Amino acid sequence: MIPKKTIEELIIKHANLEKDLSSEKIEKKEFAEKSKEYSNLSTIIDQAKNYLLFEENKNELEKILKDNNSDDELKKMAELELVDLKTHYQKNEKSLKLFLLPKDEADKKNAIIEIRAGTGGLEASLFAADLFKMYEKVSNKKKWILELISISKSEAGGLKEVIASIKGTNIYSTLKYESGVHRVQRVPDTETQGRVHTSAATVAVLPEVEEVDLKINESDLRIDVFRAGGPGGQSVNTTDSAVRITHIPTGLTVSQQDEKSQHKNKAKGMKILRARLYELERSRIDHERSQDRKSKIGTGDRSERIRTYNFPQGRVTDHRINLTLHKLEEFLEGEIFDEMIESLTLQAQEESLSNL
């Protein structure tokens, strides 16, 4: 049960924001911030008011049921109304609890997605390419903007590594559950005896961070320039355009060589570095807050096997929520991607509610 005082504070805050927004003295920047907060509270304010009225309405209906002078028809109506009241109370309570859950500020951010071929050699690189195509299709369907940051190709059209940024609305909150090891079971094109092989690729989804969100001291960076070339170097040239950025305090290193311009390579490298440093700090804080926290749905452990794509049986299984969809082709086409994400989000919310 949610404390009465907590709900009352939400209602008072909503009323005060409404009063402030109607004032002519409010500044433009403050108006924008308070408008956003007011709009957010407005989505839950009716549930909050009804939640507070529950006991009063319940007592009135129970009084009718206990009253010997009440006729049978009135009692029957009161009984049905009481059932309906309790149902709405439970729904309101769940909505309010979800609203009151600590918000992850990163959820509203754009995302940087990194896909790398894992165990399985050439087949793993082909699977990494399939995963990237899937996220491309999901982005197209949702009208997200996917921009390639770097790419390293293997033979036969596979990918050793690909990094891209995805922009839109609430991107990180949608894609964060994709982080982890994705496993594929299928017969490779090179297999002559029809045997099923198991390969894997890792996916890391990081919130994209602006310079204002994370300040990096230039003195903490070592920047080396070199000539682009070798596997994955799309812009092999004779100038020192490739950039390697090392964050000295953490040892994190980012190399970027896809652009002909050293300046552009550095900008792309800094974008990746900011995202990785931001995620590193978030992970450290989460660990400190709850060292024994063991959530079934992880969002950052890249060594965790999260999903299996089984081609012979045409199914995709998410191991965190034991959900199997027998529509593998549709899933890879991005057709039923939302079904998986909604299930993961719902389970994560349920876990958070149970931990309250």
**Domain end among 67, 85, 100:** 100
Distance in angstroms (rounded) separating the CA atoms of residues 334 and 313: 19
Distance in angstroms (rounded) separating the CA atoms of residues 313 and 174: 27
Distance in angstroms (rounded) separating the CA atoms of residues 206 and 300: 9
Specify whether 274 is located in the same domain as 191. Answer: no
Residue 167, Ramachandran bin (φ over 0: left; ψ between -120 and 50: alpha; else beta) = beta
Q: Does any domain span residue 61?
A: yes
Specify whether 143 is located in the same domain as 174. Answer: yes
Q: Is the pLDDT at 222 greater than 90, yes or no? A: yes
Q: Is the pLDDT at 236 greater than 90, yes or no? A: no
Per DSSP, the three-state class of 253 is strand
CB 318 within 8 A of CB 344: yes
212-216, 232-236, 311-315, 343-347: least confident range? 232-236
Q: What is the pLDDT of residues 13-22, one digit of tens each?
A: 999 999 989 9
Taking residues 122-126, report their average pLDDT: 93
User: What pLDDT does residue 98 have?
Assistant: 83
Specify whether 76 is located in the same domain as 115. Answer: no
Q: What is the pLDDT of residues 278-316, one digit of tens each?
A: 888 888 777 665 544 445 565 445 567 999 999 999 999
Taking residues 31-47, report their average pLDDT: 90
Task: Give, in degrees to the nearest 5, the angle at Cα 306 between 180 and 156.
Answer: 65
Distance in angstroms (rounded) separating the CA atoms of residues 254 and 12: 49
Band (pLDDT 50/70/90 cuts) for residue 192 is low
Domain ranges, residue 249: 218-289
10 versus 32: which is more confidently predicted?
Answer: 10
Name the percent of the chain lying above pLDDT 90.
Answer: 58
147-156, 164-173, 233-242, 288-297: least confident range? 288-297
Amino acid identity, residue 132? F
Q: Does any domain span residue 294?
A: no
Q: Is the pLDDT at 340 greater than 90, yes or no? A: yes
Specify whether 280 is located in the same domain as 341. Answer: no
Specify whether 340 is located in the same domain as 226. Answer: no
Per DSSP, the three-state class of 263 is helix
User: What pLDDT does residue 339 have?
Assistant: 93
CB 215 within 8 A of CB 233: no
What CATH number should be reported for the domain holding residue 223? 3.30.160.20
Specify whether 190 is located in the same domain as 276. Answer: no
**Domain end among 289, 320, 342:** 289
Q: Is the pLDDT at 259 greater than 80, yes or no? A: yes
User: What pLDDT does residue 293 have?
Assistant: 45
Q: Does any domain span residue 193?
A: yes
Specify whether 203 is located in the same domain as 315. Answer: yes
User: What pLDDT does residue 291 have?
Assistant: 45
What CATH number should be reported for the domain holding residue 169? 3.30.70.1660
32-36, 48-52, 134-138, 247-251: least confident range? 32-36
Band (pLDDT 50/70/90 cuts) for residue 238 is low
The mean predicted confidence, pLDDT, of the chain is: 87
Q: Is the pLDDT at 232 greater than 50, yes or no? A: no
Residue 82, Ramachandran bin (φ over 0: left; ψ between -120 and 50: alpha; else beta) = alpha
Specify whether 94 is located in the same domain as 118. Answer: no
Q: Phi and psi at residue 228, in whole multiples of 5°?
A: -65, 145
How does DSSP assign 252-304, residue by residue?
Answer: EEEEE-SSS-HHHHHHHHHHHHHHHHHHHHHHHHHHHH-TT---SS-SS-TTS
Specify whether 36 is located in the same domain as 93. Answer: yes
Q: Which of 280, 274, 149 is nearest to 217 (CA)?
A: 274
Handedness of CA 171, 172, 176, 181 (dihedral sign): positive
Taking residues 223-245, report their average pLDDT: 70
User: What pLDDT does residue 311 have?
Assistant: 96
User: What pLDDT does residue 234 have?
Assistant: 47
Q: Does any domain span residue 243?
A: yes
Q: Which of 305, 254, 247 is nearest to 281 (CA)?
A: 247
How many helices (H) and strands (E) are present in the chain, helices listed first?
9, 11
Number of domains composing the chain = 3
